Structure 1
Amino acid sequence: MVAIPILAAVGASTGWATGIVLAQAPARRLGAFEFTRIQLVACAAIVSLLCSVLGLWPSVTWEHWPAFVASTVVGIFLGNLAMIECLRLGGPRRTELLLSFKGPLVALMAFVWLGERVSVMDMVGALVVLASVMVTIQFGGDARSESDRLRGSLWRVVLLGLVATACQGLGFLLMKPAMLAGTDPLAASSVRLLGAAFLISCVALWPARVFRSDAEMTPGLLGRVVLPGVIGYVVSSSLLLYAFAHFHAGLAAVFGSLSPVLVLPILWLKDGRPPKPAAVLGAIGAIVGAGIVVLF
């Protein structure tokens, strides 16, 4: 049933929208590398424990190990480092705008690599969703909001966002054959997280200043780092992997990129400022686009 993968992708978007707002403040305090390191190590431990309790390890198709390795290095390690640095400098609205390009990028890669094709109406619906997301983010922000303040060069933010988008999209797409072979989404997330946690822990042994943080770690700060990681790495990633396995990769990526629309009401609750009319119109357009894909 098409609706279930779409709901999974939308659920992933909801999780990322929530997580990226929660992550901004602690990421700015710790720096991109230390923030990502703590998240990966903690989330790898949590999701691995869940897989052990639920008995999901036998579902992993280890013959696809090259895809696991490439997806871990490109999708999680490089992609998330670039995304967190983009978030620190550009804020959640700009970061989500750049991440919304994941849909067309994944669709192009899926066409070239997997030969996936979509119907005309599916393409129309996806374009309506993407255009609505762009309108929402471009015209729905509030420069008065602390969350929307730009730190540093806009070009650096754009470059980091596009690198994060390409890496994350490729990381998910690389996992599709393993998912189709029967690997459970949560187990796939666990393997990727364990690999990324090991890799970033090895890199952290290098005594370079860029890998250190001057912020004092407290239990409260640790919780604020781990919570968005669980939401993003464990819940949202597993949902999107499921959507990739049971739906067209490009369309799944489009519905997994709705977080720019969903992040605005969350920022409204956080900052106390309602979204602009353009943001509301963008949200309505995204719903219409989703309806076109589901109904036609």
Structure 2
Amino acid sequence: MLFLPVAAAIGASTGWAAGIVLAQSPARRLGAFEFTRIQLTACAAILSLICTLLGFWPSVLWHHWPAFALSSVVGILLGNLAMIECLRRGGPRRTEILLALKGPVVAVLAFVWLGEVPSANVLIGGLVVLAGIFLAIQFGGSERSASDRLKGGLSGVVLLGFLATICQGLGFLVVKPAMAEGMSPLTVSAVRLLGAAFLVSVVALWPASAFRPNHPLTPVLLGRTILPGVIGYIVSSSLLLYAFKNLDAGFAALLGSLSPVLVLPILWLKEGQPPTLPAVLGALIALAGIALILLF
């Protein structure tokens, strides 16, 4: 049934759009590493408890451990560190437009890795969706938003965004065979998070200034750090893994990259600044691209 995985991928985009807006302020206060460390350890503990209560651990297929390790190190740890630093420097709109490239990146990786060949309507619809996303963000009046003030050079933001896109896309793709053999997306998310949380905790033992928080951790700041992590690492990642399990990887990644469009109304609610006409037009074009894929 196509509706459920498509809805799951769009739901993942919605979650990431909300999470990235919520994450910007605590990420800037704590720094990319400390922000990521707190999110990973907290979310790994929460998701591990959920899997224990639901009795999911016996379903883990440990012969896929190289894929789990690669997904944890590259997909979660490196990918999210790059994304958070990109967010801190470039703001949510610039970060999202770079992450929107995850669809074509995953499509190429899926062709090389899994031999998946997208159909003509997926290719055409995907290009339409990407055109809508770029129009919505690039010409959507991003400079009017206080959240999008550039910190540092634009080239560094672009490099960080590309790195995050490639790492995150690869992290989702490599665990698809494990899910094809019967592992649930929730269990895969738990294994990925546990691996990444362990690694980031080990790295945090190194007494380097880059790994220290920029701001004292208060209970309020802790809650504001964990909340977008739950939305992103637990809810959105599990939804997108479900979509990866049931759809072509490139198509799932494309639908999971709609957050640049969905972040616009969220920022409107947060900052009281309505999206411009090009932003609305871009959103409509992206929706038309999805319709093209689903109906034809």
Paired letter, 1:181: E
Per the alignment, residue 240 of structure 1 pairs with 240
How many Å apart are 1:180 and its aligned residue? 0.5
The answer on 1:155 being equivalent to 2:177 is: no
1:99-123 deviation line (CA, Å, top 9, x unaligned): 0000000000101111101211121
Query: How do 1:62-77 and structure 2 match up within 5 A?
Result: 62-77=62-77
Provide runs of 4+ in structure 1 moved above 2 Å.
none
Task: Identify which range, 18-27 or 125-134, moves more after superposition.
Answer: 125-134
Paired letter, 2:27: A
**Contact between 1:102 and 1:253, CA under 8 Å: does it hold in 2?**
yes
Per the alignment, residue 270 of structure 2 pairs with 270
How many Å apart are 1:167 and its aligned residue? 0.2
Task: Identify which range, 196-205 or 133-142, moves more after superposition.
Answer: 133-142
SS in 2 for 1:283: helix
Per the alignment, residue 134 of structure 1 pairs with 134
**Contact between 1:136 and 1:278, CA under 8 Å: does it hold in 2?**
yes
The answer on 1:214 being equivalent to 2:208 is: no
Per the alignment, residue 55 of structure 1 pairs with 55
Paired letter, 1:217: L
- Corresponding residue pairs, total: 296
The answer on 1:167 being equivalent to 2:167 is: yes
How many Å apart are 1:144 and its aligned residue? 2.6
CA distance in 2, matches of 1:187, 1:201: 21
- State TM-score, norm by structure 2: 0.99
How many Å apart are 1:227 and its aligned residue? 0.2
CA distance in 2, matches of 1:8, 1:113: 24
**Contact between 1:141 and 1:148, CA under 8 Å: does it hold in 2?**
no
Gaps of 5+ in 2: none
Paired letter, 1:104: P
**Contact between 1:264 and 1:275, CA under 8 Å: does it hold in 2?**
yes
CA distance in 2, matches of 1:214, 1:12: 30
How many Å apart are 1:126 and its aligned residue? 1.2
Q: How much is the aligned-residue C-alpha RMSD, in angstroms?
A: 0.7
CA distance in 2, matches of 1:228, 1:77: 16
**Contact between 2:75 and 2:168, CA under 8 Å: does it hold in 1?**
yes
CA distance in 1, matches of 2:62, 2:68: 9
The answer on 1:282 being equivalent to 2:282 is: yes
1:135-162 deviation line (CA, Å, top 9, x unaligned): 1111113313210100011000000000
Per the alignment, residue 33 of structure 1 pairs with 33
CA distance in 2, matches of 1:97, 1:14: 14
How many Å apart are 1:214 and its aligned residue? 3.5
**Contact between 1:17 and 1:262, CA under 8 Å: does it hold in 2?**
yes
Per the alignment, residue 85 of structure 1 pairs with 85
Percent identity over the alignment?
A: 69
CA distance in 2, matches of 1:141, 1:262: 15
CA distance in 1, matches of 2:150, 2:62: 43
**Contact between 1:105 and 1:166, CA under 8 Å: does it hold in 2?**
yes
Per the alignment, residue 187 of structure 2 pairs with 187
CA distance in 1, matches of 2:193, 2:100: 23
Per the alignment, residue 202 of structure 2 pairs with 202
CA distance in 1, matches of 2:142, 2:153: 19
- State TM-score, norm by structure 1: 0.99
Gaps of 5+ in 1: none
**Contact between 1:93 and 1:141, CA under 8 Å: does it hold in 2?**
no
**Contact between 1:37 and 1:197, CA under 8 Å: does it hold in 2?**
yes
SS in 1 for 2:25: helix
Paired letter, 2:111: F
